[in-house]
Amino acid sequence: MAGALDQLKKYTTVVADSGDFKVIEQYKPTDATTNPSLLLAASKMPEYKHLLEKAVQHGKSTGSTLEEQVTEAMDKLFVLFGLEILKIIPGRVSTEVDARQVTPSIY
């Protein structure tokens, strides 16, 4: 007998609201959405430390002031999480990000 989630998937698009790749992979939604608070929680997890480090490096290399560095790093982190989620789901990822961060150089 199919579970409730499998039954639901027959009639609607299931969207995960998470930044935790393991949860997204477990429930296999079609799409995913994230927000700053979810990504903050996920970025504190040891398994995602490499994404945080990459984002901080980006912020330091692109921002002239500390405020710009933090903003650049946060936006880059959101994009990096979104790209990782896209490796898991067949659909789309919705996240809040500065549009200037979405450039061909990140793909």
Per-residue pLDDT tens digits for 31-46? 999 888 888 888 899 9
Local structure of residue 31 (DSSP, 8 states): E
Query: What's the rounded mean pLDDT across residues 82-90?
Result: 93
pLDDT tens digits for range 47-57: 999 999 999 99
pLDDT band at 1 (very low <50, low <70, confident <90, very high): very low
Reported as a pLDDT band with limits 50, 70 and 90, residue 103 is low
pLDDT at 68 over 90: yes
**Span 90-100, average pLDDT:** 79
Residues whose CB is less than 8 angstroms from the CB of residue 91 and which lie 6 or more positions away in sequence, other chains included? 13, 29, 30, 31, 32
Contact 58, 76 (CB under 8 A): yes
Give the model's pLDDT for residue 6. Answer: 86
